[in-house]
Amino acid sequence: MQIDQIVAQLRQERDRIEEAIRALSSLTGNTHFIKVKPQRTGTTLPKRTMSAAVRRKIGAAARARWAKIKAGKK
């Protein structure tokens, strides 16, 4: 049996199990704990980076929020 076939069978089994979990959870009304990740198609997501200017802007906003909170406590 080829590795690709094994992986395909495991994915089918995973999908079947996820469907069973959804069906059972819907009976109890407890669908909050179901976490199903979307399948990737083999491509990797690009790494997201922030520029230094954006980091400074976010940092300044955070300092302003904390200053506002600390000023309210006095």
Q: Where are the domains of the chain?
A: 1-37
Look at residues 35, 13, 15, 11 and name the one whose alpha carbon lies nearest to residue 25: 35
| Predicted model pTM | 0.38
Spatial contact of 35 and 25, defined as CB atoms under 8 Å apart = no
Spatial contact of 25 and 31, defined as CB atoms under 8 Å apart = yes
With tokens 């000023």, the residue in question is: 71
pLDDT at 71 over 60: yes
Q: Note the pLDDT of residue 31.
A: 57
Q: 9 pLDDT band (50/70/90 cuts)?
A: very high
pLDDT tens per residue, range 24-65: 877 777 655 556 666 666 677 777 888 999 999 999 999 999
pLDDT at 23 over 60: yes
